[in-house]
Amino acid sequence: MAYGIVELLSVFAHNVDAENITFVSADDIENGSVFTLGTRVTGNEDQFNAVKPATANIAKQFYMAASPIRVITTLGDGSQFVDLTPNPKAFINVAGQPIDGVALKIGDRVRLSEDAIGGSKGSNTAVVATNADYKLNWGAAISGLTLTLLDTTYISVADGFGSQRVTAYDFIVSAIA
């Protein structure tokens, strides 16, 4: 399965530690997915629960999963190995493990692989947070989190046997609430 890839092109959070938070989720979350700030994780006051977008929180501050790519391969006996493959399309933030989340601000620019976005592009020129889905989805601009399409591009991917590229899109955060 191919998972989403995110590249933070120009984000406010790069220079502000308070805008980078460690999250934990009960669900697997792809890089490039979004969530809001939940309660502190029991027993670890430096981590917060990731809350799936919902109609009730669509106007809150959103964070985007942007963890360093460390592909964890789990064998049938439960043993785990890290980085057996360098392919970022094989990476997902595993449920219960720490996730790096960056606060999105109006004017931030991000690049998302095609796999990081739900729905069908069609004539849509924006991706939005939607009820009950961590992934941003193609759609019309809304009053909640909206990223507006700037350009179609590619992300180069080393897959261990050479390199290839995947279709990606550059976006600018145009609305948060």
* Domain locations in the chain as residue ranges: 6-175
pLDDT at 164 (0 to 100): 84
Spans of the chain below 70 pLDDT: 1, 83-85, 159-163, 177
What Cα–Cα distance (Å) separates residue 166 from each residue in 20, 59, 76, 113, 155?
A: 27, 31, 30, 7, 5
Identify the pLDDT of residue 175: 85
pLDDT given for residue 161 in this prediction? 64
pLDDT at res. 160: 59
User: What phi and psi values does residue 93 have, to the nearest 5 degrees?
Assistant: -75, 110
**pTM across the whole model:** 0.89
